[in-house]
Chains A and B, each alone.
Chain A
Amino acid sequence: MIRRLPSFSFDRRRNSRLRGVFALIAVTAVAACGAKPAPQGFNDPNEATNRSIHDFNRGVDRVLLRPAASAYGKIVPEPVETGVNNFANNLDVPVDVVNDLLQAKPGDAAKNTLRFVLNTTIGIGGLFDPATPLGLPGEKTDFGETLHVWGAKEGRYVVVPFLGPSTTRDFAGTLVDVALNPLRLVLEAPETYYMTGAKVASTLGDRSRYSETFDSILYGSADSYAQTRLLYLQNRRFELGQSGSGPDAADDANFEDPYAQ
Chain B
Amino acid sequence: MRNDPANFRLTRRGFTSVALAASAAFALPLPASALDVAEARSLIDKAVADVNSIIGSGRSETQMFGDFEKLFVKYADVPVIARSALGVAARSASAAQMTAFTKAYQGYLSRKYGRRFREFIGGNIEVVDAKPIKSYYEVISVATLKGEAPFDLRWHVSDKSGRDLFFNIIIEGVNMLASERTEIGALLDQNGGDLDKLIAQLQTI
> Could you say which of A106-114, A120-128, A224-232 contacts chain B?
A224-232
Interface 0/1 of A128-167, CB less than 8 Å to B: 0000000001000000000000000000000000000000
* A258 and B179 within 8 A (CB): no
Q: How far is the CB of B31 from chain A (nearest CB, A)?
A: 21
For the complex, count residues of B whose C-beta is within 8 A of A. 41
B178 and A256 within 8 A (CB): yes
**Main DSSP-derived SS at the A contact region:** loop
- Given A216-B116, A252-B133, residue A234 in contact with residue B84 (CB < 8 A): no
Report how many A-B pairs have Cβ atoms within 8 Å.
109
B190-A222 in contact (CB<8A) = yes
Q: A226-B182, A239-B173, A259-B160 are in contact. Are A1 and B134 (CB under 8 A)?
A: no
Q: Is A237 an interface residue (CB 8 A)?
A: yes
A259 in contact with B182 given A1-B119, A237-B173, A254-B173 (CB within 8 Å): no
Binding site for B on A (CB under 8 A): 1-4, 9, 11-12, 137, 212-213, 216, 221-223, 226-227, 230-231, 234-239, 243-245, 252-261
6 examples of A-B residue contacts, CB within 8 angstroms: A2-B176, A4-B171, A11-B149, A223-B189, A227-B183, A238-B173
Nearest 10 Cβ contacts at the A-B interface: A238-B173, A222-B186, A223-B186, A259-B160, A258-B84, A4-B172, A222-B187, A234-B174, A254-B175, A234-B173
B interface, CB within 8 angstroms of A? 80-81, 83-84, 113, 116-117, 119-120, 133-136, 140, 149, 151-152, 154, 156, 158, 160-161, 167-168, 170-179, 182-183, 185-187, 189-190
